Amino acid sequence: MAAATALLLPFRAHLHPAQAMLIFVPVIVAIGRLAGVRASAVGAVLAFLAADFVFVPPYYHLTVASPADWITLLVFLLVALSSGLQTGAIRQRERAAVQREREIALLSRLSSRLVSEESIEEMATFIVGEVAAVLGADRAVVFVRAPGDRAALMAQAGGVSCGVAEGAFADWVMRNDKAVGLPLTDDPSIGPHPVSVLVDEALPGIVADGVYLPLQTGECLEGVLYARPLSGVESSPERVRHLIAVANLAAAFLERRRLEDEAAQAAALQESDRLKATLVSSVSHELKTPLAAVTARITGLLDEGETCTPDRVREELEAATEDLHRLDSSIGDLVDVSRLESDAWRPVPDMWDIGELLGTVASRIPVASKRRVRFEVAEGLPSVWVDFRQVVRALSTMVDNALTYAPGADIVVGARALGTDLLVWVEDRGPGVPDEEKQRVFEKFYRGTTSAASSSGTGLGLAIVREIARAHGGRVWVEDAEPRGARFVLSLPLQGVSP
């Protein structure tokens, strides 16, 4: 305004006062455009005074000589004020519209993340960042429910933490389920929201500014959102409404995550209860049976004393050794299944020839059964990228199974390449596996119903095979052999997968 006055001063002699005032008007409009309502009003009054002081005779006096100049001056004041205010208001509305757009965009970004799989911490970090950037808070904090109805800080943005006070208010909100520091208003658009109390009512004597909003869904308080202060368009009801909307979305996200976690935990608990029960009964049966047999045989020998022939002693001890082998393999099953399930036995692959894998499998076949097993391996098979011990374990289990379920009959172990896979199979001439059991035989503790041998073993062997196949990116299945019997096939990718 001063610049405009100085600029016009040299031309004072040639200008009618009204003309000078006319030139002030666009200047005031520009001020309103750039600096808002208040600045333009001040500008208008300043222009009025400057016009009176400098351009209306007598110069450099606030008095006005001619009544006509009085009228000119008053009209000028009116015009200056109204045009300044008008442009200022337009500017304010534009800015509010842009802000509203940003806030709505925030809500849409937030809601699109509601169903995402990101962690609570990632979401909380996102929320505080957006509240600070879009709603103009100097400081924003998300607290989540912690054990004992406490509020635990999950993410924060901006500002200096006033730690103790923030924590105290968040705890208070958590316990009382009321917002703190929301402007008291009758605006129905702000509801429904939890009853707000003044800062003083919550924790008398503790100074805190800003707003603490409970993150609440229908039934449960999930956490607290803190923002300080809501700046910008002076904490308009609209901005408060947006903050509440953010809080509601955050609460919905937290609730979804909590319910998911609870459901997953409940399911896991139920499954583990079932498995534990089966495990306990299976373990006690599988461990105690051979133990009981060994105990009976040895105490029997002791009891017979000197009447016992050396042949009979030998026979009993050989039988006891077999029982002990069974005990050892049951323990092995239990150890392996728990190692595989707890991810404590990850495959350590290397390049192996199928011949060396099968050589070790062959060397582990019980002596009494060696003659029953025949190998038919295609020539020139490429090497496979597998964990030696795991694959040998899987194949040995498949061979043992065949020996058990098809007693007396010969067994064929074969291997060939098919596309990008290596297939290794164990084929028997036993009773086979009925279609309805072809999937279930690989479940833990599932025992076939058709065979007399179905009561032996832990019922874990094929589950272990399946776990090992999976860990290698392969699979295992059972199909009917011709003319009868079962063929268990283990398929492993020739190139392997990175574990």
Partner 1 sequence: MKSEQSSPPERSPRILVIDDEEQIRRALRSILQARHYTVDLAATGAAGLEAAVDTTPDLIVLDLSLPDMSGLVVCEQLRAWYEGPIVVLSVRDADADKIAALDLGADDYLTKPFSAGELLARIRAHLRRISGAELSVREIKAGDLMIDLAKRVVTVKGQPVHLTRTEFDILAELARNADRVVTSHALLNSVWGPDYVSDTQTLRVHVSHLRQKIEPQGGVSRYILTEPGVGFRFAGDPDIPA
Residue ranges that bind partner 1, judged by CB under 8 A: 310, 313-314, 317, 321, 324, 328, 331-332, 335, 339, 350, 352-360, 362-363, 370, 374-379, 381, 388-389, 415
Q: By C-beta, is 222 or 316 nearer to partner 1?
A: 316
Cβ(366)–Cβ(332) below 8 Å:
no
Contacts of 198 (CB under 8 A, 6+ apart): 180, 181, 184
Q: Which positions ≥6 away from 468 have C-beta within 8 Å?
A: 340, 347, 387, 390, 391, 393, 394
Minimum CB distance to partner 1 smaller for 261 or for 376: 376
Q: Which two tokens mark 214? A: 């409970």
Q: How far is the CB of 470 from partner 1 (least distance, A)?
A: 20
CB of 320 to partner 1, least distance (A): 12
Residue 461 gets which letter from DSSP?
H
Q: How far is the CB of 363 from partner 1 (least distance, A)?
A: 6
41 and 81 Cβ atoms separated by less than 8 Å: yes
Q: Which is nearer to partner 1, 45 or 308 (CB)?
A: 308
In angstroms, the CA 146 to CA 334 distance is 38
CB of 378 to partner 1, least distance (A): 7
- Point out which residues pair with 84 in neighbouring strands: none
Q: Could you tell me the smallest distance in angstroms from the CB atom of residue 422 to partner 1?
A: 12
Of residues 281 and 363, the one with the C-beta less far from partner 1: 363
Q: State the Cα–Cα distance between residues 58 and 357, nearest whole angstrom.
A: 115
With respect to partner 1, which residue has the nearer C-beta, 61 or 364?
364
* Beta carbon nearer to partner 1, 68 or 377: 377
Per the listing, tokens 């009209």 go with 75
Q: Which is nearer to partner 1, 133 or 334 (CB)?
A: 334
Closest to 416 (Cα-Cα) out of 497, 487, 498 = 487
Nearer to partner 1, 189 or 363 (CB): 363
Angle between helices 237-304 and 67-113 (to 10 degrees): 10
Structure tokens at 446: 């599932």
Task: For the CB of residue 338, give the shortest distance to partner 1 in the complex, in Å.
Answer: 11
Minimum CB distance to partner 1, residue 259 (Å)? 40
Nearer to partner 1, 203 or 334 (CB): 334
Element at 110 (helix H, strand E):
helix 67-113
Smallest gap from Cβ 356 to partner 1, in A, equals 4
Sequence-distant contacts of 352-356: CB under 8 A, at least 24 apart: 352/383, 352/384, 352/385, 352/386, 352/388, 352/391, 353/381, 353/383, 354/381, 354/383, 354/384, 354/415, 354/422, 354/424, 355/381
What's the min distance (Å) between Cβ of 206 and partner 1? Answer: 58
As measured in angstroms, the least distance from the Cβ of 358 to partner 1 is 4
Cβ distance to partner 1 smaller for residue 10 or 310: 310
What is the number of alpha carbons within 13 Å of residue 332 lying toward its C-beta? 13
Alpha-carbon distance of 373 to 362, in angstroms, equals 8
